[in-house]
Structure 1
Amino acid sequence: MTVLGTAALVLVGLAVFVLGAGLGHGAARRQQEHADGTDEARALVRTLHAVELAAAPLRAGLTPDTARRAARRLRPLLGTPALALTDGTSVLAWDGAADHHREQLLALLADPSRGRTLALSCDDGSCPVRWGAPAPLTADGRCVGALVVFAAAESGVHVRAVQAAAGRLSLELDLAGLDRARAGAHEAEMRALRAQISPHFIYNSLASIASFVRTDPERARELLQEFADFTRYSFRRDGDFTTLAEELRSIEQYLELARARFGRRLRVTLRIAPEVLPVTLPFLCLQPLVENALKHGLEESVERSVVTITAEDEGTEARVVIEDNGIGMEPERLRAILRGTAGPSTGIGLSNVDRRLRQVYGDDHGLVIETGVGAGTKITLRVPKFRPGVQAPPPP
């Protein structure tokens, strides 16, 4: 069963436990007859919504702040005088009365001989807490803490309710782990792309700048500024997306540095429709493709390299084409590159960009590459002009 499917079952189970005490057989029949127009059905919807609100803070992980916000919303829902969330070694949050039981709670939870419920002792005759029901909080199959509800006397309803509630909170902790894993994978992809910015290119760019210091100091200053702007953009950390205008500006800086080295051997043509400049696309999506074009057109060929970059408006999409007259490659080698099986340092940029485009826009928006030995390479990508959740950060 999927995580979402399990979440749905836990939600319904918790709602049934919370509402069960107030629904007699007659109310259940009326709910069956009148569907969601009854008071009970509306109460069920409100309960499900309240459970979602209570569990949501843990999507950011199990911390004192998220535990406090979850406990504050969950305790009124379960109708207990006190509720606690722990991380196994400390009480992260205690909501309600009798928080003088904190140390006793930790001792009881640490006792391997304890039963399924907790019996709490207290010298305060007015204390409303004499009994507790713990349920484990899990993440990635590991116990990471506990949810505990307290009452004056043992209650089977509370035992079942706290188990269902802990299951729902655990789902959020699982999702938090997936978010962290996804963020780590994304960061790894960005590091791979930045590493793909060839150290040889950086070295050669600085060497080209140095060659102009005496002969043309003004040109050297201009190139140094281009180099600084290019590296600042390429190694920025804010946001997963950028605009086509910003990406093209970085590419122009990259090409300016390349021209300083290769001179007339490199000819670049840009055909950019102004209306597609604001389109949002994944960060560092085009630069690896342009670097690939230069690599196959210049560094592996003695002939003059011609690179053409086109961006066109196609209704609901922007179409970007990067074409070179380089050495090309065999189709089987291209397929191996896109599968990531061509070698640890081969085609990282192409496969990375292709994968990210598919993740963001779907499999029908991967790279379309036309190539052949000695026939150059043509790379086409299509980017929707609007996609929910895809937004570039504001300009600095």
Structure 2
Amino acid sequence: MSELLTDRTVLTTLAVIGVLGMFVMLCRARRVSTSIEDATLRALHRVSQAAPELREGLTEESANRATPHLRELLQCVAVGLTDRSGLISWDGEANHHYADLAGRVGDVISDGKHAHIDHADLDCTYKGCPMRHASIIPLLVEGEIKGSLVVVADSGGKRVINAAEELGHYVCTQLALAELQESRERLAKAEVQALRAQISPHFIYNALNTISSFIRTDPEEARDLLQDFAEFTRYSFRATGLFTTLAEELRNVDRYLTLERARYGHDRLRVQLRIAPEVLPAVVPFLVVQPLVENAVRHGLASKRGGGTVTVEAADNGNEALISVEDDGVGMDPNRLNKEFTNAHLTGAHVGLGNIHDRMQSVFGNEYGLVVETNIGAGMRVTMRVPKYSPGVRPLPSADEPLESVEPPETPIDEVQEPAPTTKEPDADEEPRERTRTELATPSEPADTEEPAGENAAAEKSAADTASTAG
């Protein structure tokens, strides 16, 4: 019995030791796993901290904010950033050695090849120098060397070199994103300038001509119209700002319609505004509603006998504002509209409509393009959705700004007579045609559409030409 107890005791002891051993091993594994996880989180934190600074471009201010995060990311002695002219930021120790590295930095920027320098190759008399190795990595962005990254480490070896090169790739990626953002901003400004250039010189001439006709007969009206014209041009040609509030945009639409109604007459140009107050603070791209209204007046109603009605609506749609511009004018063939819009980059047709469509998608996403509902003799309705909040989209604070200089035309502009109707209007007892809903394709994409066929093809083509959208 005693021998049995002894055997059991031995087995129990061995089992306990085994369990304790497994527990110790699991604890060690957990500590190692936790250490790796913590290091990963710290690295991700440093990467996220450095990214927005580098995306401001390779400037002294952004580099000074980024280099501490880059040094902590590698846990190295020092990190430096240079542009093509020289050092713009250094964080860490051993900065006295930059004079020794400056020549190699110039060589790296010139030939685009990495350089790796050991401390033993330098003439250093400082006994406590923390530097043992330095790597100089060229910063190549869009095929052009913008500067270099200098990594100073307290040890050498392949691992240090690989870490420095990977950090260089990361910095190049962020600088490339900065270049892309700058290009997008330049493109957005160019698109706004192109849209400003499309503001019809004929509208300006006719507006001033209309105002002059009221000077003797109704001076008070002339003064009000002149004020509206001044505010309209001030807003449309302002020098800065890619975004504005829907309230400001609609205020400019109201000025435009006031001037056009004075020209055409209130009976011939009727206006309906349905605006939900809660969407007025929504931020929209600058000059995104007024060109649609101008398109409705000039191409939808100007050629319609007896004129018609323009309806501007801004409705609350949950997290979005739903904006639409509608007219009951001549309309156009939807197939022709989509085909011409697809080739707009070649033909120049529908530049205004395409401009707005592209800017909406560029700012808010591809799902926020324009939707057009139209047909010959059925008028046109253009709808857009605007998020009530979008990151990075902010309106320009309202302030008095100088007007951009606008050069006068080289030749005088003759007043354009109102075009005669070129499309057959439906008879009173004829049922109006239904509109066709069209989500505009991206310009330059092929459009599988056909020209209208049949005996009315020529008349429909003429009506479509007359009712082409602004631009």
- TM-score, structure 1 length as denominator? 0.81
Partner residue of 2:75?
79
The sequence identity of aligned pairs, in percent, is 46
C-alpha separation between the residues in 2 aligned to 1:354 and 1:113? 41
| Counterparts in 2 of 1:30 and 1:42: CA distance versus 1, 3 Å | farther
Deviates more, 1:363-372 or 1:222-231: 363-372
Q: More helix per residue: 1 or 2? A: 1
1:219 corresponding residue in structure 2: 221
Instruction: Indicate if the aligned counterparts of 2:301 and 2:330 stay in contact, CA closer than 8 A.
Output: no
Q: Distance in 2 between matches of 1:307 and 1:148?
A: 63
Distance 2:314 2:385 in 1: 10
1:134 and 2:130 matched: no
Give how far 1:383 is off.
3.1
Question: How far apart are 1:361 and its partner, in Å?
Answer: 4.1
| Closer, same or farther: CA 42–31 of 1 in aligned 2, 3 Å | farther
| Superposition deviation, residue 46 in structure 1 | 0.9
Is the aligned partner of 1:185 residue 2:184?
no
Equivalent residue of 1:117, what SS?
strand
Gap change, CA 1:174 and 1:226, over 3 Å in 2: same
Cα distance, 1:387 vs. partner?
A: 4.3
Which of 303, 309, 326 is the equivalent residue of 1:323?
326
**Counterparts of 1:219 and 1:30 in 2: how far apart (Å)?**
88
> Relative to structure 1, is the Cα distance of residues 36 and 278 closer, same or farther in structure 2, using a 3 angstrom cutoff?
farther
- After superposition, residues 235-274 of structure 1 pair within 5 angstroms as 235-264=237-266, 265-274=268-277
> For residue 336 of structure 2, what is the aligned residue in structure 1?
333
Distance 1:62 1:136 in 2: 13
1:333–1:342: 8 Å Cα contact kept in structure 2?
Answer: no
Instruction: Give the conservation status (yes or no) of the 8 Å contact 1:122–1:130.
Output: no
Deviation, 1:108, is: 2.0
Deviation of the 1:317 alpha carbon? 3.7
Q: How far did residue 251 of structure 1 move?
A: 0.3
Confirm or deny that 1:313 pairs with 2:316.
yes
Find out whether 1:207 has 2:203 as its counterpart.
no
Secondary structure at the aligned position of 1:60 is classed as: coil
Measured against aligned partners, the alpha-carbon deviations of 1:227-284 in whole angstroms (never above 9, x if no partner) come to 1211222233554433322221110000111122222432222222333333333332
Secondary structure at 2:252 match in 1: helix
Q: How does 1:92-107 map to 2 (within 5 A)?
A: 92-107=88-103
- Does residue 348 of the first structure (1) align with residue 347 of the second (2)? no
1:291 equivalent to 2:294? Answer yes
With 300-309 and 252-261 compared, the bigger mean Cα shift is at: 300-309
Distance 1:260 1:326 in 2: 19
For residues 28 and 256 of structure 2, the distance between their equivalents in structure 1, rounded to whole angstroms, comes to: 67
> Deviations along 1:331-364, whole A, 9 cap, x unmatched?
2221034325276543222122223333444444
1:366 is aligned, of 356, 366, 369, to 369
Q: Is the 8 A contact 1:244 1:280 kept in 2?
A: yes
Is 1:46 the counterpart of 2:42? The answer is yes
Look up the equivalent residue of 2:306 and give its one-letter code: E
Confirm or deny: 8 A CA contact 1:89 1:106 kept in the other structure.
no
Closer, same or farther in 2 for the Cα pair 1:147/1:278, shift >3 Å?
Answer: closer
**Aligned partners of 2:214 and 2:221 also within 8 Å:** yes
8 Å Cα contact 1:58-1:70 kept in structure 2: yes
Contact 1:270/1:308, CA 8 A, preserved across alignment: yes
Alignment check: 8 A CA contact 1:305 1:324 kept: yes
Given that 1:137 and 1:166 are in contact with CA atoms closer than 8 Å, whether structure 2 keeps it comes out as: yes
Distance 2:370 2:156 in 1: 62
Rounded Cα–Cα distance in structure 2 between residues aligned with 1:101 and 1:361: 48
Once residues 386 and 60 of structure 1 are traced to their aligned partners in structure 2, the CA distance between those partners, rounded to angstroms, is 23
Cα distance per residue 1:166-206 (max 9 Å; x no partner):
11111101110110111122112211221221121122212
Q: Give the 3-state SS of the residue equivalent to 2:344 in structure 1.
A: coil
CA RMSD of aligned residues (A): 3.0
Give the conservation status (yes or no) of the 8 Å contact 1:337–1:351. no
Which residue is 1:121 aligned to? 122
Instruction: Give, in whole Å, the separation in 1 of the partners of 2:364 and 2:337.
Output: 22
> SS where residue 145 of structure 2 aligns?
strand
Distance 2:51 2:368 in 1: 35
Once the 2 structures are TM-superposed, how far is the Cα of residue 214 of structure 1 from its aligned partner? Answer: 3.6
- Distance, in Å, in 1 between the alignment partners of 2:27 and 2:379 is 69
Residue 56 of structure 2 corresponds to 60
CA contact (8 A) 1:336 1:342 kept: no
Structure of higher CA gyration radius: 2
Letter aligned with residue 84 of structure 1: G
For 1:298 and 1:249, the matched residues in 2 are separated by: 22
CA distance in 1, matches of 2:31, 2:321: 47
8 Å CA contact 2:307–2:329 kept in 1: the answer is no
Provide the secondary structure at the position in 1 that maps to 2:382: strand
Alignment partner, residue 5 of structure 1: none
Cα deviation digits, residues 126-176 of structure 1 (max 9, x gap): 444464211221212333221112246644332122111111111101110
In 1, the alpha carbon distance for the partners of 2:31 and 2:192 equals 51
Gaps of 5+ in 2: 1-24, 400-471
1:279 and 2:275 matched:
no
